C-alpha cells in the first residue's frame, strides 16, 4: 500500500481540471512518481475509468525507445485518448526532446488534464517562457517532512524519530527500509551518484567530473555556512583543481537545477534590498549531508538550521538571510504580507549564547513576529515578546 503525502495530494486535488499544466518537480527519489500513482488511485476512486487515464513513464526503456521527441509523445497520447476528458500523467518528462512543444500541443488540441514530473528544474528551460508562460503551475516536492517521516516510520517515540530523521534524512525509500546503517549507506550512495553523474554531469555535458565531485562535496559539507567565490576557489585550489569563477557559478547552478542544493540570498532589513554577496546554500536532504561528512551530530546547530529552512520552503515561505546593521538573522520568512524573523540554535541554556541569539532579533527595528527555535524543552515561552519554540513542536504544527 502506498503511503499518502497529504500536503501534495491536497494541492493536486485543488488543481484538478483547472486550465493549467501541473508540473511536479523535485530531487530524484523524493516521491514524485509515487504522487502520480496516488493521483491515479484518486482519479479511479472518483469514478474516472482506466482508459481515460494515460500514464507514461519515461524511465521505461520501452517507452524511451518509442518516444524520443515531441511529435512521438503527442502521437502516443492522442492515440490512447478516449472520448471526453482524459487525464495524462507523464513521469520524467525532461527525458523527451522538445517536451515543451508536446505539452503545448496537447494543452491546445486535446481535452486533457496534464500532469508531468521532472527531476531537473525543467521550469528553467530556455523555451518554457515562450511556450508555456501562464499555462503551468509548479508543485515542488521535497523529501519527507518530519511529520511525514513519523507516518512512514510507525512506532517510534518522538525523540528517537527526530534523531533518526536528522541522521538518515527524509528520502521516502530510506524511511521505509528501516535504519540499518549499511543498507542506508548503499542506498544513499546510489541516490547521490545518480544525481551527480546523471542529473548534473551527463545532463549538462560536464567535462571536469572530478572538479564537480569536489565542489559538490564541499558545498554539501558546508551547508548553512556563508560562502563566497573566493572561499570555494581556495578550497578547489587546495585540492589541485584549477578553476574559474564562471565555472564554479555554472556548476553551482547545475546543482540547484538538479535540486541538490538551495541557494539563499541575504536581505538588508534597514536598506530593504537583497544582497548578492555572502549567501548560503542548504542541502535538500540531510542524509546526503551525513553521507559526505560521515557524521550526523558534528555540527548540530547547522543541521537544525537546514531542517528549519526546508520546512519553511515546504510551508510556502520565501526565505532570505537577514542582515541588520551589525548582526545576522538566520531567516526572514515571507509569505504574502506575512513576515517572521527566525533564529535557530541548539540550546539557549547558556546565558551568553542566549543573548547572542536574541540580540539580532531585537535590532530589526520593526514589529514583525520574531521566533527562536531550539531543541530545549519549552519551559520559557518567550523572551520579552520573542517567541521560544521547541523544534519538534514547531515541525509538527502543520
Tens digits of residue pLDDT in 182-211: 999 999 999 999 999 999 999 899 999 999
Can you list the alpha helix ranges (DSSP code H) found in 268-377?
Answer: 286-293, 300-314, 351-362
pTM score, two decimals? 0.93
Interatomic CA distance for residues 222 and 282, integer angstroms = 8
Asked whether residue 68 is domain-assigned, the answer is yes
Of 77, 112, 141, the residue that ends a domain is 141
Q: Is the domain of 11 the same as that of 137?
A: yes
Q: Is the domain of 136 the same as that of 147?
A: no
Q: Is the pLDDT of residue 328 over 60?
A: yes
| Cell of residue 69, nine digits | 521527441
Whole-number pLDDT of residue 108: 93
Q: Is the domain of 392 the same as that of 359?
A: yes
Closest CA to 76 of 92, 59, 57: 57
Are 178 and 63 a contacting pair, CB within 8 Å?
Answer: no
Q: Is the domain of 61 the same as that of 164?
A: no
Q: Could you tell me the CATH number of the domain that includes residue 109? A: 3.40.50.300
Interatomic CA distance for residues 384 and 285, integer angstroms = 34
Whole-number pLDDT of residue 70: 94
Rg of the chain on CA atoms, in Å: 22
Q: How many domains does the chain have?
A: 3
Q: Is the domain of 64 the same as that of 119?
A: yes
Asked whether residue 188 is domain-assigned, the answer is no
Dihedral sign of CA atoms 140, 141, 146, 150 in order = positive
| Cell of residue 68, nine digits | 524520443
Q: Is the domain of 172 the same as that of 90?
A: no
- Residues 239-266 have a mean pLDDT of 92
Asked whether residue 191 is domain-assigned, the answer is no
Whole-number pLDDT of residue 365: 86
What angle, rounded to 10 degrees, do the helices at 300-314 and 158-168 form? 90
Say which residues have a Cβ less than 8 Å from residue 35's Cβ, sequence separation at least 6: 5, 8, 9, 12, 24, 117, 141
Q: Is the domain of 12 the same as that of 116?
A: yes
Q: Domain range spanning residue 34?
A: 6-141
- Residues 137-158 have a mean pLDDT of 91
Asked whether residue 41 is domain-assigned, the answer is yes
Tens digits of residue pLDDT in 42-73: 999 999 999 999 999 988 888 888 999 999 99
Q: Is the domain of 16 the same as that of 97?
A: yes
Whole-number pLDDT of residue 284: 98
Amino acid at each position: 500500500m502506498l503511503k499518502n503525502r497529504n500536503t501534495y495530494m491536497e494541492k493536486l486535488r485543488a488543481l484538478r481540471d483547472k486550465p493549467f499544466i501541473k508540473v511536479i518537480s523535485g530531487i530524484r527519489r523524493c516521491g514524485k512518481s509515487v504522487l502520480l500513482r496516488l493521483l491515479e488511485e484518486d482519479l479511479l476512486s472518483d469514478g474516472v475509468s482506466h482508459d481515460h487515464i494515460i500514464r507514461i513513464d519515461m524511465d521505461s526503456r520501452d517507452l524511451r525507445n518509442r518516444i524520443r521527441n515531441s511529435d512521438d509523445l503527442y502521437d502516443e497520447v492522442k492515440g490512447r485518448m478516449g472520448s471526453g476528458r482524459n487525464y495524462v500523467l507523464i513521469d520524467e518528462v525532461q527525458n523527451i526532446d522538445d517536451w515543451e512543444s508536446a505539452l503545448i500541443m496537447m494543452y491546445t488540441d486535446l481535452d486533457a488534464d496534464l500532469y508531468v514530473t521532472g527531476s531537473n528544474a525543467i521550469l528553467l528551460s530556455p523555451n518554457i517562457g515562450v511556450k508555456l508562460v501562464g499555462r503551468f503551475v509548479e508543485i515542488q516536492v521535497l523529501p519527507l517532512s518530519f511529520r511525514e517521516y513519523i507516518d512512514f516510520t510507525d512506532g517510534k517515540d518522538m525523540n528517537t524519530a527526530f534523531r533518526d530523521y536528522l541522521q538518515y534524512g527524509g528520502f521516502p525509500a530510506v524511511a521505509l527500509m528501516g535504519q540499518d546503517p549499511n543498507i542506508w549507506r548503499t542506498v544513499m550512495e546510489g541516490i547521490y551518484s545518480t544525481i551527480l553523474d546523471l542529473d548534473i554531469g551527463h545532463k549538462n555535458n560536464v567535462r571536469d567530473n572530478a572538479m564537480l565531485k569536489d565542489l559538490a562535496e564541499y558545498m554539501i559539507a558546508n551547508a548553512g555556512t556563508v560562502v563566497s567565490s573566493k572561499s570555494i576557489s581556495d578550497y578547489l585550489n587546495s585540492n589541485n583543481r584549477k578553476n574559474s569563477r564562471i565555472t564554479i557559478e555554472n556548476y553551482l547552478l547545475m546543482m540547484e537545477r538538479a535540486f541538490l542544493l538551495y541557494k539563499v540570498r541575504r536581505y538588508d532589513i534597514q536598506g530593504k534590498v537583497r544582497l548578492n554577496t555572502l549567501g548560503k546554500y542548504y542541502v535538500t536532504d540531510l542524509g546526503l549531508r551525513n553521507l559526505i561528512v560521515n557524521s550526523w551530530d558534528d555540527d548540530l546547530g547547522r543541521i537544525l538550521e537546514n531542517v528549519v529552512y526546508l520546512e519553511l520552503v515546504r510551508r510556502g515561505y520565501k526565505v532570505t538571510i537577514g542582515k541588520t546593521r551589525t548582526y545576522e538573522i538566520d531567516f526572514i520568512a515571507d509569505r504574502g504580507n506575512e513576515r517572521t524573523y527566525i533564529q535557530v540554535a541548539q540550546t539557549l541554556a547558556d546565558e551568553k549564547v542566549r543573548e547572542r541569539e536574541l540580540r539580532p532579533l531585537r535590532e530589526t527595528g520593526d514589529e514583525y513576529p520574531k521566533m527562536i527555535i531550539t531543541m530545549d524543552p519549552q519551559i520559557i515561552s518567550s523572551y520579552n515578546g520573542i517567541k521560544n519554540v521547541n523544534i519538534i513542536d514547531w515541525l509538527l504544527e502543520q
